[in-house]
Structure 1
Amino acid sequence: MSVGKWVREAREPVYSNLTCPFLPEAKNCQKYGKPPGYMYWRWKPDECDLPRFEPKRFLDLVRGKTLAFVGDSLARNQFDSLLCLLSQTEVPIDQQLNPFKKFHKIHFPSSNFTVMVMWTEFYVQGIPSTNGASTASFDIHLDKINTNWTSELPSLDYLVISGGNWFIRKHYLYESDKLVGCLFCKGENLTEFSMTYVMRRVVRKALESIESCQNCDKLVTFLRSYTTSHFENGLWFSGGICNRTEPLDEAQINLYGHEWEFRRIQREEIERIVIAGFNGVGEAKKKKIYKMLDVTKAMMIRADGHPGAYYNKDFYKNANDCLHWCLPGPVDMWNEMLMHNLIKTSSLD
């Protein structure tokens, strides 16, 4: 699934900004004039075919189930994509979605399916270091899980976790409530850790918390791999732009940066927790299921799929958004991959 290429797609997307009642203003690129070429591509794996998303079939697969997305604003991006896709078959009960609310639960009555999104920057506890500002440095407690999301695990059938973008800034690191070091803090007389070290610690803590959940035997966990931004000539508030009109060539992407390191860590930690699900003689015991939604390389190519300047600037004044993804757009592929894996998982029941 993760090795392939983007190919031209003549068909219209499954939904549009006119047919999705849930489409956030910050991702409504068509409303704000973005040229539509970015919508007419599909991901074609080398070894198989990734079918187009089928809303009715998805709802049949998850009948009577509960699914949650856990992570940062990109987890919310995937949640919004799924709502737009499913709303082409059924509009759920709750349509009052606040783009700034950190917890949402939406119910589809005809299939008795519930989908949730829960915000966490780090999986573990993170407390703003200064003035309570959500974009400031955080005190990250590496050994304390954020129970705001783990407390919901027993109610779930499917879980999609993701993250990584909040580690690319200055933070302070704690263990046993003691300051042990920091990220991006040269000159502060503290031990400076790498962001890959911290990424591994929190992904491992998250997966171990899922594995140790006492009433979660039915839970299937998907770890959606890290996706990068595509800022050029600056960043969020320093003139960064993303005005590409077509996917990049594979030769233009960097497979040696932090993006690929984050993906490697995620894959290794998934493999580690799967191995931990077997006992000492190699026989399978009662174990949870873990899968990887490996989208990193595919999304590194899609520099054309971000809102850029084409969104409601009330959200980020004087900034181009080269991190999140237009709806409809490349992010919908994540849910196609999710559906493909749900089909395979359901065949094991």
Structure 2
Amino acid sequence: MARNARAGRGAVVAEGGVRTPVGDGSFIELDGVEKVFEVRRKAGFLRRERHEVRAVDGISFRVARGEMVGSIGPNGAGKSTTIKMLTGILTPSGGRLRVAGVDPSRERTRLAHRIGVVFGQRTTLWWDLPLKDSYRLMHRMYRIPDARFRENLDRCVELLDLADLLDTPVRQLSLGQRMRGDIAAALLHDPEVLYLDEPTIGLDIISKTKVRQFLKDLNEERSTTVLLTTHDLTDIEQLCRRVMVIDHGRLMYDGALAGLHEAGESERVLVVDLDRELPPITVESEGPLRARVLRTEGPRQWLALPAGASVAPLVARIAAEYPLKDLSVREPDIEDVIARMYAARPHPAA
């Protein structure tokens, strides 16, 4: 693991994280991108003072064509603002940003034919029209060839289970149904990149499963580049090999999902059941048997060891020296890992 300033100040970059230098042909390129908003705050009975809020603070990363990358962060971390700059909705306050070699804010119309966007809490569908009429309007707006439109629509309808919903006005759809409808709408023109901002928010388990499987198939079969922002870590675990952790507009981590455990200094827990109550198991503070006893309760003892360490040497020693009855390994919870990363990071002053 290494630290790399190009990934954002203080970001931890695991192998497989920030992959490529400027100008290498990466599909998405951000270099020191910033977004500053000016807000007015009440400072007296009739006075208001101007303050700057840095929603995005010097983020740099690359996304290769066909890659599926997850972005995690609390509310206000800068995830959605970054997506809006990538689509051209917002203009960066500083830095360099390119999507397919295009500056999104300057060539938004040109780029619109190459990207698809789904905002979980907003819809691109026409509220009072049946779902199929929204798709027909997009057919005309994007000037999609008839054969291509029918092929893409049929595929989305089948894989997202939309056949029984096409004649239903959008306002009558449930949140899960509308979300599936929005994803289909974003893909009718065969975008090269798909931005997903909280695509499974508020969905039931069945709808989430359908959406995740569809996105996985889309990425594998058509090599569609996907940038996913979410609070649901199951989305990341099931879809993405690479994850970026963002907090206060800065990139804290960029790399493989498994590397988060090392970056967050997480621990696995070995639960040991002996055939009788004994003093705490003797462990080492260093070396291959490094561990620490968390607690004991009768014949049961809990031992913690680094998440990246093998439990085999420790288990072999315990089995050889203690009357072992049973044992189990509890893997670290990724939500706890990320929470610890947030808690350990000093927050910039407002």
Normalised TM-score (structure 1): 0.32
The structure with the greater share of residues assigned to strand is: 2
Structure (1 or 2) with the larger CA radius of gyration: 2
The structure with the greater share of residues assigned to helix is: 2
| Higher relative contact order (CA closer than 8 Å, sequence separation 6+) | 1
